[in-house]
Structure 1
């Protein structure tokens, strides 16, 4: 297990010289898994591993609102490092940010309301509202704070683990921009697909263009892997997914791949849409994230042998005791096969009321069990 002892300590981040070359990477398990190499154990990281379940995060947030943290590189870096310091078992970090910085760059106001989540005071209602969106957005200017946070964090990690950058998928971002926040039905966004299909495609293409630039800029800033979150993919029928989500998600990957080359793995998470996995076999994504609604065995069949899979334990398992967490983890690892083309994760992100100690149980189980399984497979 790679040591993370040289990760910048709290308070040391602002003194880092970001002009020097990036430190050499000391733990490349996630990169090797994405490339399909045989491994000595399964790498593991967790979506939302930096955030509200950690007492050190809550302490820092008491002085700053959510988007102040996101827009302040030193604060975003510090939050990104918190789980890496706490859990030496983690094999990757992910920059602390939010998928909704893209709608903000397009000129929309987004507020993070305690107890409610993201809120758009003025969502898109009709196609006429597309005229309110900014055109020709320069991501290096509009989203410079994300790139600055990535560069600073890459240095602060000191090569302990790789750093993920990310963006929301076009359909998911469109849904938020029309719904004005979270929704149980996505009725407003899906109404656009039926009533305004041409305008929907125009909006999706505009979001895609911006996300391409955003992800490429993150790589230039120091991101070593990229993840695209399609959180609302499962709310679409298969036909709607093929028409309004799949073309833009795959276009996004193809254009980013053409710009950054093959050394930066790309991962896509179509939450709740395991039926889409066969359509993604020919995409430029190296890795497909799956949730707990599909078995590892079925996911392997659906995605095909050339894709690395990532996931997929139900986050609610972390409410269980240590033996139960270990048992679920063992079943998951046996289903995926830990030796290659697999990155352990949850099937969604951490919840605010998760006990940090229970995440430690899960990470320890992945380490010990996958090591044992890989050794026995030799």
Structure 2
């Protein structure tokens, strides 16, 4: 690996970290979920030569892809390491393939709770060392321009993929497990939580400056299910990372939880200990602030589909959004990941408008 030392360049733009910790900022920070990815022609060029997971597993390629949006867009206040939430099931011994036009596919999904014992928890994080290597390399290559975000999928979201065999509009097999095998569900969620904590700590040790936990399937849970199936494990992840960093005498980093479709449980999310709560586009910023209070940073929440509108309309909608959130404890973002056909000039309009809004 090109860089192994952790003597990183000084951070020149700390807006994101200040906003996450509730400190005063000169401008509202902005980044975009999936900003390194399919909508960029330079990413498509890399993908034309390499399989998706090969890019994830090759630190030089993951670093290159992570840096691509920063080169193109001058108003981004953060980078997010190029990886995928499904590297964890892979590290546990499951096969995951990325099929063009379909997305991730598990040829052999979990069909019975007895298969939980076949998952290879021991050594899982060491099998994810390539993510840490990519983070360290990127921290050096980024030269302190902006902070670098690390991330993971949340336990329930990962479990869903492992049972469904890929993305699912109904999550029917997972919901069947919730009803038929409640003890086994919690056993699997606990296993995933343990791996996730170690994985996130490894990312911080490698150079990640903020962590985001994606509960991308929260829209499949009722409020009651969120309280039982998601929240306890999200809370354990936050406290587990904090404890390990304290024990290792490593500086704490802020953490964001993003529960897509979890608007029914914002008050619960506010109690999980995360510095930042990500909001999808269905949530009203003013109402969210009333529920969550003033001591947590909010992130979001422009509808990704709005980026298909004219640059003028995007600027108007973005300014309107930023003004609703206000400058204190706010990070501008989309309400979900940027979509593949998004016009390149839309990102310019969005990021510029955020910095101009207040």
TM-score (norm. length: structure 1): 0.92
Please name the residue that 1:38 is paired with.
24
Alignment of 1:200-219 (within 5 A): 200-219=185-204
Do residues 115 (structure 1) and 81 (structure 2) align?
no
Corresponding residue number in structure 2 for 1:29: 15
Give the alignment partner of residue 244 of structure 1, picking from 226, 229, 232. Answer: 229
Matches of 1:354 and 1:280, distance apart in 2:
30
Q: Does 1:72 align with 2:58?
A: yes
Maintained 8 Å contact 1:275/1:302: no
Return the alpha-carbon distance in structure 1 between the equivalents of residues 41 and 339 of structure 2.
13
In the alignment, the residues of structure 2 paired with residue 101 and residue 264 of structure 1 have an alpha-carbon distance, to the nearest angstrom, of: 22
Deviation at 1:259, TM superposition (A): 1.8
The answer for the alignment partner of 1:279 in structure 2 is 268
TM-score (normalizing by structure 2): 0.97
1:335 has 2:324 as partner: yes
Query: Tell me, what secondary structure is at the counterpart of 1:204?
Result: helix
CA distance in 2 between partners of 1:142 and 1:266 (Å):
23
1:275 to partner: Cα distance: 1.8
Instruction: In structure 2, list runs of 5 or more residues that go unmatched.
Output: none
Runs of 4+ off more than 3 Å: none
d(CA) in 2 for partners of 1:207 and 1:137? Answer: 13
Contact 2:270 / 2:277 at 8 angstroms: preserved in 1? no
1:9 aligned partner: none
Q: Which residue of 2 aligns with 1:125?
A: 111
CA contact (8 A) 2:242 2:252 kept: no
- Aligned: 1:195 with 2:183: no
Residues 27 and 120 from structure 1, CA distance in 2 versus in 1: closer, same or farther, beyond 3 angstroms?
same
Measured against aligned partners, the alpha-carbon deviations of 1:80-132 in whole angstroms (never above 9, x if no partner) come to 00001111100000000000000011100000000000000000111122132
Kindly indicate whether the alpha-carbon contact (under 8 Å) linking 1:278 and 1:303 is maintained by their aligned counterparts in 2: yes
State how many pairs are aligned: 354
Q: 1:364 is matched with which residue?
A: 352
Give the 5 Å matches for 1:1-378: 16-19=2-5, 21-139=7-125, 141-261=126-246, 263-338=252-327, 340-369=328-357, 373=358
The runs of 5 or more residues in structure 1 that have no matched partner are 1-13, 374-378
Q: Which residue of 2 aligns with 1:11?
A: none
**What's the RMSD between the two structures over aligned residues?**
1.1
